Amino acid sequence: MSRLLLIIISAVLVNNFVLLKFLGICPFLGVSRKVKTAVGMSGAVVFVMTMASVVTWLIYNYVLVRLDLVYLQTVTFILVIASLVQLVELALQKISPPLYKALGIYLPLITTNCAVLGVSVLNIQKKFTLVETTIFGIGAALGFGVAMLLFAGLRERIDLCDTPISFRGTAIGLITAGILSLAFMGFTGMVKL
């Protein structure tokens, strides 16, 4: 039980995917202008990451390993992730058209989001069990969500500030992301998995 808790804490804070592993930077900068879209994106990522972790783990251990086709890992994982993203896209278009519009291009871009593939690959590398995989998937997605939320909140405030013209927009965003990342460096080494 304590190991599962550690996995969550590790994924959310200590080894935050965005701020410490630098995975999934594209949506991190792209959809973090407003808290609302950031929350929506995080929701989509939570779903995709968790599902992808579980499905890829199952496929890896029960199909690829048994058939001795481990070298197909990357291709199959991408296939799974792409289909899952498509599923989320279909569902979102039906359930919440405004969110679907707000996320725009970044939704299909989860397909090529290295964070999702990263989680799936890490699950295998760290030899997690199915339960641990699920928890790690959720944790990693939550970590992504935390980073997105923090950053979106900061950017909303920065938009109101009198920033020098040359720093406005993405420039100050990148600097803020760097400082945020530095802050998260403080957690380094607190949890060893």
Partner 1 sequence: MIDAVITLALLALAASFGLAIAARIFSVSVDPRVEVIEDALPGANCGACGLPGCSELARRIADGKADIDACPVGGEEVARRIAEIMGQDFEGGGVRTVAMVMCAGNDEVALKRFHYNGIYDCTSAALLFGGNKACIYGCLGLGTCAGVCPFGAIDMVQGGLAVVNPDKCTGCAKCLSACPKGIIKMVPVNRKVHILCSSHDKGGKVRKYCKVGCIGCQKCVKAAPEGAIEMDENLAVVNYDVEIPESVAETCPMNTIVVGGGVERKAAAAGGEG
- Measured from the CB atom, the residue of 75 and 131 that comes closer to partner 1 is 75
For residue 91, state whether it binds partner 1 (rule: CB under 8 A). yes
Give every CB contact of residue 8 below 8 A, 6+ residues apart in sequence: 135, 138, 139, 142
The rounded distance, in Å, linking the Cα atoms of 164 and 1 is 50
Closest approach, Cβ 68 to partner 1, in A, equals 8
- Which residue in the set 7, 19, 23, 80 belongs to the binding site for partner 1 (CB under 8 A)? 80
Counting residues that bind partner 1 (by CB under 8 A) gives: 21
For residue 171, state whether it binds partner 1 (rule: CB under 8 A). no
Stretch that binds partner 1, among 4-12, 21-29, 74-82, 173-181 (CB under 8 A): 74-82
- Which residue in the set 61, 73, 83, 176 belongs to the binding site for partner 1 (CB under 8 A)? 83
C-alpha angle 126-130-134 in degrees, rounded to nearest 5: 90
The rounded distance, in Å, linking the Cα atoms of 46 and 34 is 18
Give backbone dihedrals phi and psi of 174, rounded to 5 degrees, phi first: -65, -40
Give every CB contact of residue 13 below 8 A, 6+ residues apart in sequence: 143, 146, 184, 187, 190
The rounded distance, in Å, linking the Cα atoms of 192 and 4 is 13
Stretch that binds partner 1, among 18-26, 77-85, 106-114, 168-176 (CB under 8 A): 77-85
Query: What is the binding site for partner 1 (CB under 8 A)?
Result: 59, 63-64, 67, 69, 71-72, 75-76, 79-80, 82-83, 86-87, 90-91, 93-95, 97
